[in-house]
Structure 1
Amino acid sequence: MRKIACHLLSKKPVSLPRAAKLMTRFTAVDNGASPVVSNYLQRVADALDLLVQFHSKSSNDGENSNRETREEFPAKETKDSCDKKTGKTKRKISNEDDDSKDRKKKRKS
C-alpha cells in the first residue's frame, strides 16, 4: 500500500453539489488507485450525484413535500402480546390504516 500525503487547503464548508462535482472529477482522472479503490470511489461519486438529484427534486416539489411523504408512508402500528410458554413479549407491526381494517371485517362477515 502506498502512502498518501496531503494537507488541508480550506476549512470552508462545501455544498453537496460542489462535493459531488469534485468527486466525479477525481474519479474521472487516473489517480493511481487500485481497481478496487477506483470502483469504490466511482460508487461514492455516483451516490453523491443521486443525492444531489434527490435534493434538487425534493426542493422543486415545494414546501409540502415532507408532509406528502409522511402521508404516503404512515407510521406503523405496533401491538404487543405475551407468549404464554416463554413469557417473552412479541411485537406485531401493522401498516394498515383503519379503512383497510374495516374492509377486511366486512369481507369476513
Structure 2
Amino acid sequence: MKKTLVIGASLKPSRYSNIAIGRLVSSGHNVKAIGLREGEVSGVTISTKKESFKDIDTVTLYLNAKRQVEYYKYVITLEPKRVIFNPGTENPEFYSLLKDNNIEVEVACTLVLLSTNQY
C-alpha cells in the first residue's frame, strides 16, 4: 500500500479531499493529511503544520495553483515518488519543479484512480 499525504484536507464531508481520505483509508493506504483546520477524518488526523513525514509515496493535492506555491519546497523535500494534481489543481510551474527533482507528475483524480484500481 502507498503511504499518501493529502494536502488541502477538509473536515467537510462534501469536499473531495475528505472523500478521498475515506476511500484511501478503506483501501488500506497509510494516510497523512494537512489542511487549514485541525481535526480528524476517517481516523486520520489533519495537521495544520508542514510535518516532515517519512517514506511518502504519493502526495495528492486539493489546493488551487496559487495556494500550492507555499508547498513547493516542502513537497520536494518529502521526496515522494509522485504528486497527483486533482481536477482544479493543475499547475504547470509546479509540474516543472517536480520533474526537475525526479518526481512523477500525474494529472488525475485520486477518487477515479482508486475506483478503477489504478492508484
Question: Normalized against structure 2, the TM-score is what?
Answer: 0.20
Question: Normalized against structure 1, the TM-score is what?
Answer: 0.22
**Structure having the higher Rg:** 1
Question: Hey, which of these two has a bigger chunk of strand by percent?
Answer: 2
Question: Hey, which of these two has a bigger chunk of helix by percent?
Answer: 1
